[in-house]
Amino acid sequence: MNGDTAAQAPTGTDHSAQGGAGLPSPRSPGSPLSWRERLARHGYRARPTGTLTERLVPPMPDGPGVTEPGVPQSPVLLRLGITLPQGLWYFLCRWSGWLGPIAVAVFAGLLRFANLGQPHAIIFDETYYAKDAYALWQGGYEINWPEDANTTIMTPGAAVPYRSTASYVVHPPVGKWIIGAGEQLFGMNPFGWRFAVALLGTLSVLMLARIARRMFRSTLLGCVAGLLLSVDGLHLVLSRTALLDLVVMFWMLAAFGFLLLDRDRTRARLAARLGGVADPARAQRLHLGWRPYRIAAGVCVGLTCATKWSGLYVAAAFGVLTVLWDVGARRLAGAPRPYLAVLARDVVPAFVSVVVVSVAVYLASWWGWFASSNAPGRGGWGRDWAVGRSTDYPWIPEGLRALWHYHSTVYEFHTHLTDPHTYQSNPWSWLVLGRPVSFYYESPKPGQDGCTVSDCAREVLGIGTPLLWWTAVLALVYCLWRWAFRRDWRAGALLCGLAAGYLPWFLYQQRTIFLFYAVVFVPFLVLAVTMLIGALIGPAGASRDRRIIGSATAGLLVLLIMWNFLYFFPLFTGQTIPLEDWRSRMWFNSWI
């Protein structure tokens, strides 16, 4: 199955097109319109019919236990005169759900790791995170560095000027621990501090391809989603820079993927325990059992928060999302009061899995700070704050009280950060790429860094692939319609992920914020574009001409996005180009 039919009737039939169950029943003349009839004027369709099992868990398109041994060969290959051995063809079909996404991830990895050490410099906020990461691995907490530390670090053969005096930092440690792992493997150099982030960027492409495949029940659309993420400029730039935001995106996407796995696993269990038949009484009282995927999602949410505090909104949004998915499952299984059933049986386990687990993970992430000395001037910043200080809560360990004080000062910093910056932007402009961020810029002289003309430019510009982002704006409108009038859970899920990563920034419009923060919700923009592409391709039951035209349109859109990516590729990777070529890519004055 492909495209728009992925979560509809498992047979691919569009009942609404046949005037069947998807349309309201005829009404007598003069009678008032029902709410369903009024919504139908705007495209509302009732839920598709089918067996309970098929509605709870639509079948996957291929894979172990799904692909039949005698699967017919591709008509396209046959028209080209290509016939593969049946055993090889069966293997490719059976494992295409992994082979396709892995191939896309390899392509993404080549883009992210090629010349990863270039520019050979400390660019933008790498000046903070690369050094903080090194300090964490050396002593367990961040330190103050000498003023000439950057020059010394970039001098070949010079020793890293490490010293043990603690520094005040305003972000949790997980992202820096990850960056530091690359430094431990490859040294304190640009390749070393960018390695781990590039690896997470590559793995996130694989994850998104698998997530999209599961959401849309289409290996093709899964690979399209992975391909689109691999050619997004902002994702590429952040994958090649030692900043924290790509790490936030990785753990957020991993949490979403685990919740998606939990959704399918739980619904399959519910269908099996009901014997594939709706049973109101049992659906109301059934316990959904042990849910390891949701606990794994809680771990990932905790790691998101332990990288940047913006993960708190992810915890809230995904907690609500998993509860609403449980409500939908019980309602579909026939529960007469699904909200009451979820409140009685599912809310507490969900709270423990997502919130309690994430809090435990967050606290554990500070182990290096806790392990440092609480003697004055000997440990992490503020580690000695609670020593000898009176308190109304003596039962709370002094380490936790010191950490709470530390966090109160960090909150004050984050909510009052209003220092102007050349590249700051308002979140209203993010989706249209109003003000990108220049991470690095220099003007090489002729004969330097590959400059062959009189005037050259070399820049790393933090900006998304324009055509992909502008298409995403239209795709989000489609998804909003799809969610509101077709009750499509896939549209609601990706909109929830987008909201968790995007909407909170509107609460802090007075704060100094940047476009590259948006990388955390780029995967959900890509999912929206993928859903739109599925709609362009058309339902499985559509006519041959409709599918050909839709597929050609969708293919053309993907090709245009890839061309747009290649056009801006020199600006994503810091390549030296003639100044005139650089100017031709500055489509708006606000991009300069």
Mean pLDDT to the nearest integer, 148-168: 92
Q: What is the share, in percent, of the chain residues with pLDDT greater than 90? A: 69
pLDDT tens per residue across span 499-553: 999 999 999 888 889 999 999 999 999 999 999 999 999 887 788 888 899 999 9
Which strands sit side by side in the sheet containing 456-462, from one edge to the other?
Answer: 437-442, 456-462, 576-578
pLDDT at 82 over 80: yes
To the nearest 10 degrees (0 to 180), the angle between helices 245-273 and 489-502 is: 150
> Residue written as tokens 């802090």?
508
pLDDT for position 73: 81
Q: Dump pLDDT digits (tens) for 395-450.
A: 889 999 999 999 999 988 888 788 888 999 999 999 999 999 999 999 999 989 88
Strand, coil or helix: what is 11? Answer: coil
What pLDDT is stored for residue 30 in this prediction? 58
Full-prediction pTM beyond 0.95? no
Phi, psi of 356 (to 5 degrees): -65, -45
The alpha carbon of residue 124 and the mean position of all alpha carbons in its chain are separated, in whole angstroms, by: 23
d(CA 6, CA 310): 32
Greatest mean pLDDT among 5-9, 79-83, 147-151, 287-291: 147-151
Higher pLDDT, 570 or 374: 570
d(CA 402, CA 383): 6
